[in-house]
Amino acid sequence: MKTPPYQDIATLTANLSISPRTVDVWVKRGLLPPPVTRGTKRLWKWSQVEQYLDGAGNSGTADELQDIRNETRRQASGAR
């Protein structure tokens, strides 16, 4: 399945296996890019999200970014 270029909060949280609250926290911490707002809709450009998770374009430390990757993988695998 192809990842949509722009994602609303529901799609983004599903793709990252995180909650909407976690998205808000990560945006505030600079671990995810801020959304583009159109009316009341918040949208994230997936290519920017990937850049942030890969460590380019954000202020997160390498340890924070690795923690995000590990947690995302853990949640995606269904592990607890």
Per-residue confidence band for 1, with pLDDT thresholds at 50, 70 and 90? low
Residue 15: which region, alpha, beta or left (left: phi > 0; alpha: psi -120 to 50)?
A: alpha
DSSP string of 34-73? PPEEETTEEEEEHHHHHHHHTTSSS---HHHHHHHHHHHH
pLDDT reading at 3 higher than 70 = yes
SS3 33: coil
Q: Tens digit of pLDDT for each residue in 12-56? A: 999 999 999 999 999 998 899 999 999 999 999 999 999 998 886
Map tokens 């990252």 to a residue.
16
Question: What domains sit in the chain, N to C, each tagged with a CATH number?
Answer: 6-77 (1.10.10)
